[in-house]
Chain A
């Protein structure tokens, strides 16, 4: 067997986080390999090591049978490896040709005309359509992707890595891309494709390799795989969690979302006709592969994303359950003051919600200063609040004025969630509240949320870990492609069912409503 790339016992850690542990896998020449795994299972990290972005801590990589030291993207190019990243690496104000010419070997004559002629050959060979003089900022996402592929091919890559190439493409564009990939395979090139869409895996790949929590699980020939078997391999065995889930007591409708549609800045529909109710005294989980509209949904409710015409988000205040308050069109501050709170933990944890250089008191002040009526800001109330959050959630900090960016990740999140809880909200939305937290702190947060639920708060929990969603929530709403693909009872559902709903968009009207 001819192998293009072989990974031998590759391990990569970031600080204490193990991204990949002892991964060994092979990529054959002239095959299309799909790399599958849940979010955070280490797929991109693994591929970045082949592409020279990261360097493995242990283990070795063999390219074409020889041990390879890949220390930079340039080394990877020299070995014939090209990666198309999820976030394109292109210069906006350059033309297509200029982007291709970037960083080429010094001894090659700098002649854009000659480069253009060679690019033209590649385009004809693989049937690409590319306007060489077009500026990148005028291009559509699919055009940019074409340019990235051409760029990699121009550099003579025989091994191509595509990181979620179809995430932003329309079905037609995806089909065109797949034809290109098949052409490359016919040309005896190796292609590795990372994707979450199982039907794409089945239609394009020859073999599937599966990662789970940074470890290599298994591989399977695509011909023998089904969507169900892949889901099971990807999700793995059920991990027991002990979360004190209380029975919902006297649920009261707090939020009624109807036909919510949201377009993002690129005018792509990120939420499509979403309808659901959230009740006080219950935790509504929201599951979905990241980027399927979870963030937009919460932001739309919080007033941070404009909802398209025809959308309706009704809110029922405590004590006035029969009076609906329309949230669409209201300012984020008004929505928050009405009692709808959002605690969103972004990838970098601090970006949204907390100011890193301010202490706990200062961060509490961010949400309370509007209440002051005197000329000067009232610092006493936020200080009291900060002390309470510190005591109740056992935040470890030298003082209330220590910048929160110096606290550990778990403590930062306690501050964020604690602040939102401390003002007794009616609806509490949290997203990725346990992102990057160790198991103990995660449980503190879960129990906090459960406590809020017992206090009659309508909790909406967006999470990545299916085990937790199933154990913590009362109902789980599954988003897929910006649509509600089903709302299931968390007590009776299985991980497989939720996993299937996450990856397979059901036909109109078959979604199981409860």
Chain B
């Protein structure tokens, strides 16, 4: 197999994992009818909380352990992101603020908070690292990652979160489509009035879906900092771009978690297309074209959106009440 193709895949899968977490969280949120455009901010919060907790743990503990580091980072990342989701929920569900505006504000807020506190961690340096966390998160599977040559390299050379993301997507598919909770959740996003009349607690479903969704999105930020970015708190501006890509991926998947798996990897391949065009396909592009080629995932998303709208298949449309607040007294 072409070595640069392998290198391309090795680049695309971790990249895809970041946005897969981001978009899985957003799929849950949007299924409840909440359009949370704060995903980039939430991923920022998750990334920062995960990094900060493991950084201080490594620094302050006399004998830091890898598994403690992982659990602590995961817990802090999810908690911080869920807090972001809770702010969004309170503003949009309880106070019925406009979802678009609130989401965008949350993105700005999350970035600001993370960068502000990041200054204290950086403490004047250009970057700070959490090497133990990186080592723990990127630890490869024993045996599988070395015994089968190329297959091992392509399939089993990643940290555990890559597999966790796939498992989570499959699990999410079953919860959404095969369980009572999933059915009720979809009903809330489609038509909260009907769900309410059927005896479903609309407010609770919206709150829980938005907060849990934010927690999952936040893991994407954590994975970016502690695995993809090798446990280094630097060049964090990239998280925002990834956050928007995650939102685009939600549309690309037509709100189906299973599509998020291959969709995320496809986005990863397309994002890194510019680096591997010469090696794999023999096409040379000038350096000033790089940014244009990196736009391809967005273009693909727009194409999908147009095609889906044209075909008008009801199942592929966004949840019918997406972006609208609900009050029972409305007549």
Interface of A with B (CB < 8 Å)? Answer: 53, 72-74, 77, 85, 89-94, 98, 101-104, 106, 110, 135, 137
In the complex, the chain B residue whose C-beta lies closest to that of A52 is B197
Partner of B183, one of A90, A92, A101: A101
Further 19 A-B residue pairs, CB within 8 A, beyond A91-B191, A94-B183, A103-B184: A73-B197, A73-B199, A89-B193, A90-B194, A91-B186, A91-B195, A92-B314, A93-B314, A93-B317, A93-B320, A94-B187, A98-B183, A101-B180, A102-B184, A102-B194, A102-B198, A102-B200, A103-B195, A103-B200
DSSP class of A's interface residues: helix, strand, loop or mixed?
loop
CB <8 Å contact, B180 and A137: no
List residues of chain B with CB within 8 A of the CB of A135.
314
With a CB–CB cut-off of 8 A, which chain B residues contact A103? 184, 187, 195, 198-200
Decide: A93 and B315 in contact? CB cutoff 8 A. yes
We find that the number of chain B residues with CB closer than 8 angstroms to chain A is 20
Of B186, B194, B314, most A-chain CB atoms within 10 Å: B194
The answer to whether the Cβ of B153 comes within 8 Å of any Cβ in the partner chain is: no
Cα of A53 to Cα of B197 in the assembled complex, Å: 8
- Verify if B94 is at the interface (C-beta below 8 Å from A): no
Considering the complex, which residues of chain B in the window 266-298 have a beta carbon less than 8 Å from any beta carbon of chain A?
none
Q: Is the CB of B314 within 8 A of A91?
A: no
Once the chains bind, are A89 and B314 in contact (CB under 8 Å)? no
Cα–Cα distance between A82 and B187 once the two chains are bound (Å)? 19
Within 8 Å CB of A98, what residues of B? 183
User: Do B199 and A77 touch across chains, with their CB atoms under 8 A apart?
Assistant: yes
Cβ contacts under 8 Å, B194 to chain A: 89-91, 102
- Assess the A110–B197 pair: CB atoms within 8 A: no
- List A contacts of B184 (CB < 8 A): 102-103
Ranked nearest first, the 6 interchain pairs of A and B with the lowest CB-CB distance are A103-B198, A74-B199, A110-B180, A103-B199, A89-B194, A102-B198
Report which residue of B180, B186, B195 has the largest number of chain A beta carbons within 10 angstroms of its beta carbon.
B180
In the assembled complex, the Cα of A85 lies from the Cα of B196 at a distance in Å of 14
| Residue contact A137 to B200, C-beta cutoff 8 Å | no
**Minimum CB–CB distance for B196 against chain A, Å:** 7
CB distance from A48 to the nearest CB of B (A): 10
- B residues sitting closer than 8 Å to A (CB atoms) are 179-180, 183-184, 186-187, 190-191, 193-200, 314-315, 317, 320
Chain A residues within an 8 Å CB radius of B197: 53, 73, 85, 89
A110, closest chain B residue (CB): B180
Contact B190 A91 (CB under 8 A): yes
Q: Are the C-beta atoms of B314 and A72 separated by less than 8 Å?
A: no
Cβ B199 vs Cβ A72 within 8 A = yes
A91–B320 Cα distance when bound, in Å, is: 10
Q: Within the complex, what minimum Cβ distance (angstroms) separates A107 from chain B? A: 11
Given contacts A74-B199, A94-B187, contact A110 B179 (CB under 8 A): yes
Given contacts A72-B199, A137-B314, is CB(A92)–CB(B320) below 8 Å?
Answer: yes
- Sample of 13 A–B contacts (CB below 8 Å): A53-B197, A90-B191, A91-B187, A93-B186, A94-B183, A102-B184, A102-B194, A102-B195, A102-B198, A103-B198, A103-B200, A110-B179, A137-B314
Contacts of A110 in B (CB 8 A): 179-180, 183
List A contacts of B180 (CB < 8 A).
Answer: 101, 104, 106, 110
Compute how far the CA of A74 lies from the CA of B183 in the bound complex, rounded to whole angstroms.
18
Of A89, A102, A104, A137, which is in contact with the most chain B CB atoms at under 10 Å from its CB? A102
Known A73-B197, A103-B195; contact A92-B190, beta-carbon cutoff 8 A: yes
Is the pair A73, B190 in contact by a Cβ cutoff of 8 Å?
Answer: no
Name the residue of chain A whose CB is nearest to the CB of B191: A91
Chain A residues within an 8 Å CB radius of B199: 72-74, 77, 103
Shortest distance between the CB of A105 and any CB in chain B (Å): 9
Q: Which residues of B contact A92 (CB under 8 A)?
A: 190-191, 314, 320
Q: Please, which residues of chain B bring their CB within 8 A of the CB of A73?
A: 196-199
CA distance A106 to B199 in the complex (A): 11
Chain A: CB-nearest residue to B319: A93
Minimum C-beta distance from B56 to chain A (A): 42
Shortest distance between the CB of A89 and any CB in chain B (Å): 4
Residue picked from A53, A93, A106, A137, most chain B C-beta under 10 Å: A93
Question: Closest B-chain residue to A54, C-beta based?
Answer: B329
Q: State A72–B200 Cα separation when bound (angstroms).
A: 11
Question: Which single residue of chain A is at the shortest CB-CB distance from B180?
Answer: A110
CB-nearest residue of chain B to A72:
B199
When the two chains form their complex, are residues B198 and A89 in contact, meaning their CB atoms are under 8 A apart? yes
Q: How far is the CA of A160 from the CA of B94 in the complex (A)?
A: 34
| Interchain nearest-CB distance for B200 vs A (Å) | 5
Most-contacted residue by chain B among A74, A90, A103, A104 (CB, 10 A): A103
Cα of A90 to Cα of B198 in the assembled complex, Å: 10
Across the interface, A102 reaches (CB within 8 A) one of B187, B193, B320, namely B187
Most A CB atoms within 10 A — which of B196, B198, B320? B198
Distance (whole angstroms) from the CB of B199 to the closest CB of chain A: 4
Which B residues lie within 8 Å of A53 (CB)?
197
Bound form: Cα–Cα A53–B193 in Å: 11
CB distance from B276 to the nearest CB of A (A): 40
Bound complex: CA A137 to CA B312 (Å): 12
CA–CA, A77 and B198, complex, Å: 9
In the complex the two chains form, what is the Cα distance from A89 to B317 in whole Å?
20
Give, as a whole number of angstroms, the nearest-CB distance from A15 to chain B: 12
Closest to B179 in A: A110
* Interface pair A93/B190, CB less than 8 Å apart: yes
Expressed in whole angstroms, the minimum distance between the Cβ of A477 and any Cβ of chain B is 30
Closest B residue to A85 by CB, please name it.
B197
CB distance from A80 to the nearest CB of B (A): 14
How many angstroms between the C-alpha atoms of A148 and B7 in the bound complex? 57
A contact residues around B195 at 8 Å (CB) = 91, 102-103
Residue of B186, B187, B195, B314 with most chain A CB atoms under a 10 A cut-off = B187
Question: How far apart sit A77 and B197, CA to CA, in the bound complex (Å)?
Answer: 10
Q: With CB as the reference atom, state the residue of chain A lying closest to B320.
A: A92
How many Å lie between the Cα of A90 and that of B314 in the bound state? 15
* B161 vs chain A, min Cβ distance (A): 30
CA distance A73 to B202 in the complex (A): 13
Chain B residues near A85 (CB-CB < 8 A): 197
Q: How far is the CB of B271 from chain A (nearest CB, A)?
A: 32
What CA separation (Å) do A91 and B199 show in the bound complex? 14
Q: Tell me, rounded to whole Å, the shortest Cβ–Cβ distance linking A480 to chain B.
A: 27
**A residues in contact with B315, CB < 8 Å:** 93
Query: Nearest CB to that of B177 among chain A residues?
Result: A98
CB distance from B65 to the nearest CB of A (A): 40
Please name all residues of chain A whose beta carbon is closer than 8 Å to the beta carbon of B187 when the two chains form the complex: 91, 94, 102-103
- Cα separation A346 to B10 with both chains bound (whole Å): 60
